Copies of this chain bind each other. A is one copy, B any other.
Amino acid sequence: MTDQRTSPVTLHDVAQEAGVSLATASRALNGSSRTVNDAYRQRVLAAASKLNYSTNLSAQAVAKGSTTSVALIVGDISDPYFSSIAAGVIKGSDDAGLIVTMSVTERSTQRELELVRALRGQRPRVIILAGSRSSEEEHQGALAQELQAFESNGGRVVFVSQHELPFDTVRIDNYGGARALALELVALGYTRFAAITGEHALLTATDRLAGFSDGLASHGIMIAPDHIVTGAFTRDGGYAGALELVDRGIDDVELVFAVNDVMAIGAMSGLRSRGIEPGRDIAIAGFDDIQTVRDVTPALTTVSIPLFEVGESALAVALRPRDVGVGVVTGDGAGAGVAGASAERDVAVATSVVLRASTPGIAVR
């Protein structure tokens, strides 16, 4: 009820109130080993609660030389792909008694770099990068340097999805998943495809498109160059992409593959707006298996990624002892294509194709 802006009560105040030394108070409140007389301990606890004391984490961090925070960088938090991963990271952190701070790159590699720089000041235990990685040379270099400095000071770095830098990674098999999807679709009887992909520098997008194309190629099928459109990695990007495809003419196309679910869902609406009914007039497939694909009509065929687990794994990888070098592989890791020297530190997450109503058996129309 007191409304005056009192200054925060410090450990010193608590010690005084309890009639013990600063050191004892500290030990009673935090010290791991229970080396403190129970009577004293009670007095300290009582004093703390009476004064409504709350440990100053910053001061604690300075004194201990380490924090309890995890920095998570995502591309866009309102995208279910990222928010599901974030949920996993947060869950894992909570369980480990860590606090997560979250930043958004808005899918800008420039911003990603700035964030890493700023975040370093926080001295987090871990930095997890789940933003979409790009393959721009100069950017990669600067980012790598910053992260290396962070690691050499004891921090841990973990990437999610594909990347080309020498850091721990929770690798999502984008290529293999897309390839498997292509094979299943061919088996269903489809032979004429179109695709909506993300910008060229986006590794996730290019890997998926490459996997899909290669899968088709193994059956001698090719996607005509003008049947591949590029758009923003978002719902609206998918919508616009679909319109573009229609404008270019896709009368002979049986199935449209969008490199992620959000785009696929946007594409469905785009097609529908042009009088083309997904699942009847044309088939659609996406990638990610986000929650909502079950609730759109028709339900979307896609490649499933255990996103929440990806987030949990990222944290687990970060927390595991530094010298553990044995690769842990979740799932079958099909086509993981481990490459390079640091591969053994990677965790591969398996993907699986999920066929739904958006790709009915046997070619439509």
Interfacial residues, chain A to chain B (CB-CB below 8 A): 1-8, 52, 54-62, 67, 69, 76-78, 80, 83-84, 86-87, 90-91, 94, 99-104, 117-123, 145, 148-149, 152-154, 235, 265-266, 268-269, 291-292, 294-297, 308
Contact = CB atoms under 8 A, between A and B. Distances in A.
Nearest to A3: B152
A57 B123 contact: yes
10 contacts: A7-B153, A54-B149, A58-B61, A58-B122, A59-B62, A76-B87, A235-B295, A269-B294, A292-B296, A296-B297
A76 B106 CA distance: 21
A56 B123 contact: yes
Contacts of A101: 69, 99-102
A237 B158 CA distance: 35
Given A62-B56, A295-B235, A86 B77 contact: yes
A314 to B, nearest CB: 15
Nearest to A6: B152
A52 B296 CA distance: 50
Given A58-B67, A90-B77, A153-B7, A100 B99 contact: no
Contact of A292 (B1, B8, B69, B265): B265
A250 to B, nearest CB: 20
Contact of A99 (B52, B94, B122): B122
Given A101-B69, A121-B56, A123-B56, A78 B291 contact: yes
B99 A118 contact: yes
Contact of A104 (B8, B58, B90): B90
Given A57-B121, A152-B6, A102 B102 contact: yes
A276 to B, nearest CB: 14
A119 to B, nearest CB: 8
Contacts of A55: 121
Nearest to A93: B103
A342 to B, nearest CB: 12
A291 B76 CA distance: 14
Contacts of A86: 77-78, 102
A55 B104 CA distance: 21
Contacts of A148: 1
A54 B102 contact: no
Contacts of A99: 101, 103, 118-119, 122
Closest 9 CB pairs of A and B: A297-B297, A58-B61, A101-B101, A54-B120, A58-B58, A57-B121, A8-B153, A83-B83, A78-B87
A291 B296 CA distance: 13
A286 B291 CA distance: 18
Contacts of A69: 101
A154 B67 CA distance: 23
A7 B80 CA distance: 38
A111 to B, nearest CB: 9
Contact of A295 (B87, B104, B266): B266
Contacts of A1: 148
A244 B114 CA distance: 51
